[in-house]
Amino acid sequence: MKKKVTIHDLAKMLNIDSSTVSRALANSPRVKQKTRDLIQAKAKELGYSRNVVASNLRSKRTLTIGVVVPYISRYFFSTVIAGIEEHATENGYQVIICQSHDQIEREQQMIQTLLSYQVDGLLVSISMETENTDHLKHVLNQEVPLVLFDRKCNGLSLPTIHIDDFQMGYEATKHLIDQGCRRIVHFTGSDQISIYHDRKQGYCQALKDHGLVVSEELILTSALKEADGKLLAQQVLDMPLRPDGIFCANDLTAISAMQLLIEKGVKIPEDIAFVGFSNEPLGNYLSPALTSVNQNPKEIGKVAMQTLLGELSTKPSPDTDRLVPAHLVVRASSLKKG
Amino acid sequence: MKKKVTIHDLAKMLNIDSSTVSRALANSPRVKQKTRDLIQAKAKELGYSRNVVASNLRSKRTLTIGVVVPYISRYFFSTVIAGIEEHATENGYQVIICQSHDQIEREQQMIQTLLSYQVDGLLVSISMETENTDHLKHVLNQEVPLVLFDRKCNGLSLPTIHIDDFQMGYEATKHLIDQGCRRIVHFTGSDQISIYHDRKQGYCQALKDHGLVVSEELILTSALKEADGKLLAQQVLDMPLRPDGIFCANDLTAISAMQLLIEKGVKIPEDIAFVGFSNEPLGNYLSPALTSVNQNPKEIGKVAMQTLLGELSTKPSPDTDRLVPAHLVVRASSLKKG
């Protein structure tokens, strides 16, 4: 039996990119008429027959959206997904969810798998490891709409839904200053991650604007996992000059640090005032309850899905970034002044 | 152009089930030789040609598992999924996740979508609404291995991974009796849901075994959502004879009920001792911390994935049910006696 001729065979023979060959065979006007003619002639000559099943799938809407997040177990991500699903369902779309576990390799695999399912679009919050963006470029090459949320991606112009992390880092820090704190520690994540970078810049700016010195010794970097909270709290206890405020770039780490400090006899907020970030429901049940930043995750999900629907329609929105308003939720952990 | 003959056309003409036609065309030994010959002859006569792409996809492993749960935001389900993914990754499988929002219609759609993705197997915790099981039977007809967890499905013999809900309902109630409670209220969900049915039976049996009367007035049924906790607590406050213990079939409802009772001046555990179910991390941070049942969700996920791998290998396990051990975690909310 003669081997079937594939698009890849044609691409190789003609030394033309296989996505161009594919478009030419579908008679897409996006390929120049001359190139289209050349490819179609060669295909005819070699007896190429289109894979109708695959083509139909590709040209048909599947009414399915793929979502990739680091961890579904985080309140922020599961609530963003709730917002996505609510808006997706209203518009007749199904949602398929994958976890990257903050690993680029898994993120690449999951995106590849979702593309093979012919999802109509992708909503992704990139992993902490994502520096190489070839897999995201590949999505764009496939002409599948892609919208990011929360974490921005350097070097790729993609619609991204996020809060103003700089502004909220600024507000969190200013709140501590307003409460009388003068020696404020910041727990941050990798500077490569846009959200942590921006929150830190907001912290620095607030200190400067209020006549306080930015000291590298007071900025402690970690992976911001729950276990890191204990280690960071120990570092704070070991500081020769005890700080009077801590602004932590996420809640889970803040909560675990706060627990250790309380165990060691530190009074919160009297000795050290605390502000976290992400407004995990847990923070509201603690004693003292944790001041935090509400990122409005459900709204982020809704806006992300709206933006994707815009991309799916023929009129993509001109904005590449959309800001969702966030706000500081003040609770007992930071209230030195009643 | 002549219309292409499909498997459905053949099935209709021969009055044979289309899955049998499909198998006969793939020359499966599962179809009797005589039937196979008949179907293959008819297919030849009508010029049927196999959809090679679809057949290849079907016979190839995709190394992908589909998971359907009511809500990813619940600690229990996200932790089961963590256990599934850990074991799946070790075995080279990817995991695709969908939420049913406890609605049968979404569950049916998601399962259909996952089947269309040619997943190698499905892990499902059925929705609260699932009484009609046609969509699950359809999975079995497609010869895709299906393993359930947590909630059992009446009338279908499927491998199901769960804890002994009767036993844990019994232990939770016995613990309250041991602490001196004599008038114990039970907050339960729909009796149609196996887990709630079994927990309630355990509660009843424990009362009987300790000489206490089972009273329908003390068994309050609801959807067990967070908001139900407040309503249930109000019902308890309105009872002419105040109970001295509450066993609630889930933690979220227990926590919200406990909050209202505390607001109304009820002392916990002195006036009313409390036991929840599912050991949400939150319960550990409350004051008083909530006694609950640890269902071992990560282990449930691991065993579910192991069972599915067994089904995928040629030697399916003989058990249809596998019990994962659970245990009561005693905290301050139930300790009347030091």
Residue B132 pLDDT grade (very low, low, confident, very high; cuts 50, 70, 90): confident
B72 CB within 8 Å of a chain A CB: yes
* A109 chain-B contacts, CB cut-off 8 A: 94
Q: Which of A174-188, A254-268, B194-208, B300-314 has the lowest mean pLDDT?
A: B300-314
Residue B322 and residue B299: Cα distance in Å, rounded?
A: 11
Inside any domain, residue B1: no
> Using one digit for the tens of pLDDT, what is the confidence trace for B133-173?
888 888 887 888 999 999 888 777 788 999 999 999 999 99
Q: What is the pLDDT of residue A101?
A: 93
Residues B66 and B148 placed together within one structural domain of the fold = yes
Residues A183 and A239 placed together within one structural domain of the fold = yes
Residues B175 and B242 placed together within one structural domain of the fold = yes
* B282 chain-A contacts, CB cut-off 8 A: 281-282, 285
Q: For B97, which of A72, A82, A113 is closest by C-beta distance?
A: A72
For chain A, give the percent of residues with pLDDT over 70: 91
| CA angle B79–B80–B83, rounded 5-degree value | 90
Residues A268 and A217 placed together within one structural domain of the fold = yes
Phi-psi region of A68 (alpha: psi -120 to 50; beta: other; left: phi over 0): beta
**pTM for the full model?**
0.79
Q: What is the pLDDT of residue A53?
A: 41
List, as ranges, residues 275-294 from A with C-beta within 8 Å of B: 281-282, 285-287
> Using one digit for the tens of pLDDT, what is the confidence trace for B255-297?
999 999 999 999 999 999 999 999 998 898 888 999 999 999 9
Mean pLDDT for B92-118 is: 93
Does residue B28 register a pLDDT over 90? no
Residues A60, A61, A62, A66: is their CA dihedral positive or negative? Answer: positive
Residue A278 and residue A294: Cα distance in Å, rounded?
A: 5
* Radius of gyration of chain B, Cα coordinates, nearest whole angstrom: 25
Q: Give the ipTM.
A: 0.76
Give the distance between the most distant pair of CA atoms in chain A: 85
Residues B80 and B21 placed together within one structural domain of the fold = no
Inside any domain, residue A334: no
Residues B188 and B152 placed together within one structural domain of the fold = no
E strand or H helix at A220, and its extent? strand A219-221
A96 CB within 8 Å of a chain B CB: yes
B34 CB within 8 Å of a chain A CB: no
Residues A68, A70, A75, A80: is their CA dihedral positive or negative? Answer: negative
What are φ and ψ of residue A40, in 5° steps?
-65, -35
B35 CB within 8 Å of a chain A CB: no
How many angstroms separate the CA of residue B248 from the nearest CA in chain A?
A: 19
Q: What is the pLDDT of residue A212?
A: 97
B70 cis-preceded (ω within 30 degrees of 0): no
Inside any domain, residue B329: no
Q: Which residue has the higher pLDDT, B327 or B284?
A: B327
> Using one digit for the tens of pLDDT, what is the confidence trace for A61-108?
889 999 999 999 989 999 999 999 999 999 999 999 999 999 999 999
Residues B133 and B72 placed together within one structural domain of the fold = yes
Q: What is the pLDDT of residue A287?
A: 87
Inside any domain, residue A338: no
Does residue B121 register a pLDDT over 90? yes
* A64 chain-B contacts, CB cut-off 8 A: 113
Q: What is the pLDDT of residue B52?
A: 44
Mean per-residue pLDDT of chain B: 88
B113 and A101 in contact by Cβ < 8 A? no
Inside any domain, residue A2: no
A64 CB within 8 Å of a chain B CB: yes
Residue B2 pLDDT grade (very low, low, confident, very high; cuts 50, 70, 90): very low
Residues B303 and B279 placed together within one structural domain of the fold = no
Residue B46 and residue A286: Cα distance in Å, rounded?
A: 72
Task: Write down the H helix ranges in B190-282.
Answer: 194-209, 226-237, 251-263
Contact criterion met (CB below 8 Å) for A297 and A76 = yes
Following DSSP, what letter does each residue of B49-117 receive, concatenated?
---HHHHHHHHS---EEEEEES-TTSHHHHHHHHHHHHHHHHTT-EEEEEE-TT-HHHHHHHHHHHHHT
Does residue B315 register a pLDDT over 90? no
B96 and A95 in contact by Cβ < 8 A? no
Domain with residue B318: its CATH number is: 3.40.50.2300
A103 CB within 8 Å of a chain B CB: no
Q: What is the pLDDT of residue B285?
A: 86
Q: What is the pLDDT of residue A58?
A: 47
For chain B, give the percent of residues with pLDDT over 70: 91
B323 CB within 8 Å of a chain A CB: no
Does residue B307 register a pLDDT over 80? yes
Q: What is the pLDDT of residue A28?
A: 66
Residues B37 and B82 placed together within one structural domain of the fold = no
Residue A233 and residue A187: Cα distance in Å, rounded?
A: 10
Following DSSP, what letter does each residue of B260-278 receive, concatenated?
HHHHTT--TTTTSEEE-SS
> Using one digit for the tens of pLDDT, what is the confidence trace for B47-70?
776 654 444 444 568 899 999 999
Residues A97 and A157 placed together within one structural domain of the fold = yes
* A95 chain-B contacts, CB cut-off 8 A: 98-99
A7 CB within 8 Å of a chain B CB: no
Number of separate domains in chain B = 3
Inside any domain, residue A336: no
Inside any domain, residue A329: no
* A94 chain-B contacts, CB cut-off 8 A: 98, 109-110, 113
Mean pLDDT for B176-191 is: 96
Residues A155 and A67 placed together within one structural domain of the fold = yes
Contact criterion met (CB below 8 Å) for B192 and B179 = no
User: Mutate which of B72, B80, B114 to test chain A, going by most A C-beta atoms within 10 A?
Assistant: B72
Least CA distance to A79: which residue of chain B?
B73
Does residue B196 register a pLDDT over 80? yes
User: Mutate which of A56, A58, A72 to test chain B, going by most B C-beta atoms within 10 A?
Assistant: A72
Nearest to residue B233, comparing CAs of B268, B283, B270, B279? Answer: B268
Residues B148 and B177 placed together within one structural domain of the fold = no
Q: What is the pLDDT of residue A237?
A: 97
Inside any domain, residue B155: yes
Domain coverage including residue A42: 7-50
Q: Which residues of chain A have pLDDT under 70?
A: 1-4, 18-19, 23, 26-30, 49-60, 314-319, 338
